[in-house]
Chain A
Amino acid sequence: MANPNQKIQTLLFSEGSITIKSFCSPDEIALLSLKDTFVESGHYNPILTKKESLIDAALKPDANVTLAYTENKKIIGISILRYPNPDERWSKIEGRVMMEVAVTEVSGKWRLKGISKNLLGFLLDHPLMEDRIIYMVGYSWTWDISGTNKSVIEYRNILINLFSHFGFGIYPTNELNIMLRPENLFMARIGANISESIRKRFKLVRFNLNE
């Protein structure tokens, strides 16, 4: 049975139609294919190449796996919202307050068509949106900018614009991986129901400080 929060949209392009579906279940993911679209080639090294990883993510509590796929069931866009792993800094905020936009990726030939924005829109259309701090980290070494004619800082600005559209802001943090490069990025959206004490805790955790 489909998740009651699931949304489906069809987009038409000259290459064919694309379906975007949120809260994909393991059974729905099993019917789709990652072959041909998310494969390593040249500079491109996709974050996810196995369907099993998507199925694992979909099984996690409150997770939202939003996919874009073609008429012949090939996945061409992936976005995942999930809780951080227990060993990550962001898990220090108790009560499952933090959720991460862990992946947002569109396959090579389908880029520059606004699919990322559609994916994110469905991903963040989540019933817990106002009760969570949703965050994203952008590590420049995962960005596939080859052939875009963009520098890493220009690509960073594209990401900022994309996430700002959904109410995310840039927050400084001394998390070591983010601090490794100046162009790396940490953005978050604080839900309207987040208490003042959690906001304060979030601030301290960003700087690895305790109360």
Chain B
Amino acid sequence: MPRTITRYPKEVILKDHREVFLRPFEAGDIEKLAEFYISLQLSLRWFLKEDPCDLSVIKKWIDNQSEGKAFSLIALFDDRIVAHGTLLQRPYGGRRHVGRLRVMVASDFRNLQLGTWIVFDLIRRGMEMGLEKIRADFVIGLEDSIIEALKKIDFIEEAVLKDYIQDQNGKYYDYQIMIKQLHKELSDF
């Protein structure tokens, strides 16, 4: 994975004047990240592909980062992780040009543009990695605010998988697949 030229930690002031620092996720953050996910509502973390409260899962994420398969950012308020975003890249095959993006924000830090800051840094990172597209998937009805936020930064609603996701009570939800094209150069309009 290429060297990032964006300097961290990056200080961001939220709409409510709270100061948050963004920086890449490191091995020393494993327990704090588990605490962050434990504090999230089960209904949100239920839809992840792995249990983020399991330390061995988070250790695997660190390994992925060391192997260049992922780039993870955390947002810190004081000493607490309040958001986590990841860009995953497949090292082999026909999906190498597509990054997968995932962002989670603590409930008391939502609607303050924190998620947007993280997504922006991950998009920039994707451009540095030479990706051509970024894909992000969301559960319709539960993650509508992030869907709307990403539409404003040119993520396109590419497809909807009907009744694809099931919550912990057996209720089905539609699944939104969003894609952002990353352009290496500007068009000649």
Binding site for B on A (CB under 8 A): 43, 140-141, 143, 145-146, 151-153, 157, 160-161, 169-170, 172, 174, 179, 182-183, 203-204, 206-207, 209
Contacts and interface: CB of A to CB of B under 8 A. Distances in A.
Contact of A170 (B7, B123, B184): B7
Contacts of A207: 12-15
Given A157-B5, A160-B5, A172 B185 contact: no
B186 A182 contact: no
A182 B185 contact: no
Contact of A141 (B15, B117, B127, B186): B186
Interface centre among B5, B6, B11 (most CB of A within 10 A): B5
Contacts, number: 50
A209 B127 CA distance: 30
Interface of B: 5-7, 10-15, 17, 113, 117, 120, 123-124, 127-128, 183-186, 188
A199 to B, nearest CB: 12
Contact of A151 (B11, B123, B184): B184
Given A182-B124, A183-B124, A209 B17 contact: yes
A207 B112 CA distance: 12
A143 B185 CA distance: 10
A-side binding surface: helix, strand, loop or mixed?
A: mixed
Contact of A152 (B5, B11, B120, B185): B185
Nearest to A207: B13
Interface of B is mostly: loop
Nearest to B189: A141
Nearest to B10: A172
Contact of B120 (A161, A170, A179, A209): A179
B87 to A, nearest CB: 12
Contacts of B183: 152
Contacts of A170: 6-7, 10
Given A151-B184, A160-B5, A172 B12 contact: yes
13 contacts: A140-B186, A145-B185, A145-B186, A146-B185, A151-B185, A152-B127, A153-B127, A172-B10, A172-B117, A174-B113, A182-B124, A207-B12, A207-B14
Contacts of B11: 172, 203
B124 to A, nearest CB: 5
Nearest to A151: B184
A182 B152 CA distance: 13
